């Protein structure tokens, strides 16, 4: 089933006040995250959610983690406030099983433990659209996609010369400036986007009012394109993110008053895309490179330490697509060269660790309209590695629009998927272990009636998970594949409804996890069994927008490591409320106000770490 974010509806309503008096029709939405080529969101069997730039601005999201935190099936936890490490779970599976892309450039850092992307560093200032695909899609994207794909697309330049400048200020002395300028003509497109965000923050470790742990983010994105003729064009992309973060080491003598522990990160991505199109055939050649560097400085009862992580990804691909009368066929060829290293410098130094491997892949995808009401989607992919086991993955999906009730759609997908060891895991295996990819088998079944209600059941089984093991006798540890099967099973319900007479739009989603089990049958920590999100929005005749949204988090367990052995604690059962307002102050000048946690709820998403209290943020944006 294809799900459109409710933001699409609200954006449509905002564009036209007369929409309330008429039947609401959604603007066509294209995505590229389901088969690596641009296609209508309706022309896929996958579960796809799209978050628009309008919703990001209306809700005042400062980073990607906040923007996706209210999507059905996604949960977020934080080790403190803005810029502190963030973990996210898609249908109960950890972030290492989710591929994150920015303008097609891979953001998953191989030097992290599970190969995750650092969502806390991705600000939203220049985002045009976020596509979220849930369910295994390794049969298109390869590794790190067994739970889904998050594809982030930056803004595109408009015809002529356009741009914007936005200033923001808010609680915890948070201030920022975002700017973009772009040019587009028949032949040439050029765009520069830049942002700066800084906050004094609050203590990472609870209590919140201990010493401040600040954060700074500098980012820049450049795009340059040239169209040679109607058949040939080329694009260059560049993205860089530099961050500085103060944090608290839970093993520091000073705990929440730890004023020394801090971290820096520097991430750069480059990409060259060459497009060719003739009649029904099109091809895209891509060469890209990602460079990741992270440094962590800490002072604890082992003394001062400096931990460095570096990784590089070089990637080349050729995607061939052919549109035929009843569908589209795709042949993809890929090559990746991945390397990573780690050095721990302290009074107890260790030898540097490093690893590298290559990945060659070929995949076939076919989207076939059996008739006007039925869509069949099939994928098959083979990945070859030089350092561990090769993998074959596939997907078959079916979607049908039922004639007996216009707007009623059902769909089902069965897929296999996998996640390769990260460079960090490959460099630090348990003695005698040869790591291999973990493997996922799963399916989802959906039913939807227009935008009013959609229900999805999902079921995933993961074998050969990779985990850290430690021998207390030899004091030697490392990563190895774990015997057994971990299980993830749940239900997502979402719906939206507009009251035209009142200019009010209602939306909500609910996720329940039946199973989120480790291989031994015990439940994984930091996943809530139930999450409910709800939003009420009101649009005035003169383009003012008011909204209130709430998130309820149900039972959720964590581990208290301050005592030995660690004991289980509860961190769930709370509701957060937010208020949002935006209006056009004058032509081309907009104001956004966002109040979070308005009832100043005390809660912890990770046990022992502080969270944001009642806070207010404002942004003024001028567009030209």
Q: Is the pLDDT of residue 253 over 90?
A: no
Distance CA 63, CA 119 (A): 7
Q: Are strands 105-106 and 86-90 parallel, antiparallel or unpaired?
A: unpaired
- SS3 of residue 425 by DSSP: helix
Q: Is the pLDDT of residue 20 over 70?
A: no
Residue ranges covered by each domain of the chain: 30-623
| Buried/exposed 151-182: b ≥16 CB within 10 Å, e otherwise | bbbbbebeeeebbbebebebbbebebebbbbb
Encoded tokens for 183: 């040019």
Q: 376-433: per-residue pLDDT in tens?
A: 999 999 999 999 999 999 999 999 999 999 999 999 999 999 999 999 999 999 988 8
Looking at residue 27, its pLDDT comes to: 59
Q: 521-578: per-residue pLDDT in tens?
A: 999 999 999 999 999 999 998 889 999 999 999 999 999 887 777 889 999 999 999 9
> What does the H/E/C string look like for 8-28?
HHHHHHHHCHHHHHCCCCCCC
Q: Are strands 567-570 and 391-401 parallel, antiparallel or unpaired?
A: unpaired
Looking at residue 26, its pLDDT comes to: 52
- Residue 209: alpha-carbon gap to chain centroid: 30
Looking at residue 39, its pLDDT comes to: 83
Encoded tokens for 140: 């298109």
Q: What average pLDDT does range 332-356 have in this prediction?
A: 90
Count the neighbouring beta carbons within 10 Å of the beta carbon of residue 372.
8
Looking at residue 37, its pLDDT comes to: 86
pLDDT band at 41 (very low <50, low <70, confident <90, very high): confident
Q: What average pLDDT does range 170-180 have in this prediction?
A: 96
pLDDT band at 4 (very low <50, low <70, confident <90, very high): very low
DSSP single-letter state for residue 352: -
Burial tier of 565 (Cβ tally within 10 Å: 0-12, 13-18, 19+): exposed
Q: From its phi and psi, is residue 328 left (phi > 0), alpha (psi between -120 and 50) or beta?
A: beta
Q: Is the pLDDT of residue 6 over 80?
A: no
CATH fold for the domain made of 30-623: Maltoporin; Chain A (2.40.170)
Q: What average pLDDT does range 506-531 have in this prediction?
A: 96
Q: Is the pLDDT of residue 22 over 70?
A: no
Q: 484-505: per-residue pLDDT in tens?
A: 999 999 999 999 999 998 999 9
Q: Is the pLDDT of residue 96 over 80?
A: yes
- 103 vs 33, higher pLDDT: 103
Looking at residue 529, its pLDDT comes to: 97
Q: From its phi and psi, is residue 571 left (phi > 0), alpha (psi between -120 and 50) or beta?
A: alpha
Q: Is the pLDDT of residue 310 over 60?
A: yes
State pTM to two decimals: 0.92
Q: What average pLDDT does range 188-194 have in this prediction?
A: 95
């Amino acid at each position: 089933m294809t799900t459109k974010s409710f933001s699409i509806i609200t954006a449509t309503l905002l564009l036209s006040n007369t929409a309330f008096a008429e039947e609401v029709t959604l603007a066509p939405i294209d995505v590229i995250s389901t088969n690596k080529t641009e296609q209508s969101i309706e022309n896929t069997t996958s579960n796809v959610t799209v978050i628009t730039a309008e919703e990001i601005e209306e809700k005042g999201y400062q980073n990607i983690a906040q923007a996706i935190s209210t999507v059905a099936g996604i949960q977020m936890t934080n080790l403190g406030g803005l810029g502190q490490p963030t973990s996210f779970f898609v249908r109960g599976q950890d972030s290492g099983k989710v591929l994150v892309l920015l303008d097609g450039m891979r953001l998953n850092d191989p030097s992290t433990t599970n190969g995750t992307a650092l969502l806390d560093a991705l600000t939203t200032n220049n985002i045009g659209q976020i596509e979220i695909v849930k369910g295994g899609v390794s049969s298109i994207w390869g590794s790190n996609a067994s739970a889904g794909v998050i594809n982030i697309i930056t803004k595109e330049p408009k015809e002529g010369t356009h741009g914007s400048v936005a200033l923001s200020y808010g609680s915890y002395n948070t201030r920022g400036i975002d700017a973009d300028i772009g040019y587009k003509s028949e032949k040439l497109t050029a765009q520069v986007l830049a942002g700066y965000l800084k906050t004094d923050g609050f203590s990472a470790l609870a209590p919140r009012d201990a010493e401040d742990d600040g954060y700074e983010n500098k980012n820049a994105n450049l795009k340059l394109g040239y169209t040679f003729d109607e058949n040939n064009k080329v694009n260059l992309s560049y993205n860089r993110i530099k961050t500085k973060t103060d944090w608290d080491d839970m093993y520091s003598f000073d705990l929440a008053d730890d004023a020394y522990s801090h971290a820096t990160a520097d991430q750069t991505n480059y990409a060259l895309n060459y497009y060719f199109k003739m009649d029904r055939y099109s091809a895209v050649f891509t060469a890209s490179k990602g460079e990741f560097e992270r440094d962590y400085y800490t002072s604890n009862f082992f003394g001062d330490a400096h931990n460095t992580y570096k990784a590089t990804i070089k990637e080349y691909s050729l995607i061939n697509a052919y549109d035929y009368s009843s569908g589209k066929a795709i042949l993809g060829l890929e090559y990746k060269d991945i390397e990573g290293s780690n050095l721990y410098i302290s009074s107890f130094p260790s030898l540097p660790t490093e690893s590298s491997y290559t990945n060659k892949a070929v995949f076939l995808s076919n989207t076939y309209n059996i008739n006007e009401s039925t869509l069949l989607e099939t994928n098959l992919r083979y990945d070859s590695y030089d350092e561990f086991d090769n993998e074959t993955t596939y997907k078959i999906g079916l979607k049908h629009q039922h004639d007996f009730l216009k707007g009623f759609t059902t769909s089902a997908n069965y897929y296999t998927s996998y996640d390769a060891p990260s460079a960090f895991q490959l460099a630090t295996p348990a003695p005698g272990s040869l790591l291999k990819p973990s493997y996922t088998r799963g399916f989802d079944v959906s039913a939807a009636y227009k935008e009013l209600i959609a229900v999805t059941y999902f079921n995933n089984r993961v074998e050969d998970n990779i985990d850290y093991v430690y021998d207390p006798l030899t004091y030697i540890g490392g990563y190895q594949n774990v015997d057994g099967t971990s299980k993830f099973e749940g239900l997502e319900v979402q719906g939206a409804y507009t009251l035209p007479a009142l200019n009010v739009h209602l939306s909500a989603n609910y996720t329940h996890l039946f199973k989120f089990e480790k291989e031994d049958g015990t439940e994984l920590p930091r996943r809530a069994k139930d999450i409910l999100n709800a939003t009420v929005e009101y649009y005035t005749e003169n383009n003012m927008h008011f909204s209130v949204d709430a998130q309820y988090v149900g039972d959720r367990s964590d581990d208290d490591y301050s005592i030995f052995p660690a004991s289980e604690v509860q961190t769930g059962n709370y509701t957060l409320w937010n208020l949002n307002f935006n209006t056009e102050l004058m032509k081309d000048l907009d104001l956004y106000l966002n109040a979070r946690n308005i009832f100043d709820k005390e809660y912890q998403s990770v046990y022992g770490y502080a969270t944001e209290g009642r806070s207010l943020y404002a942004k003024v944006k001028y567009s030209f």
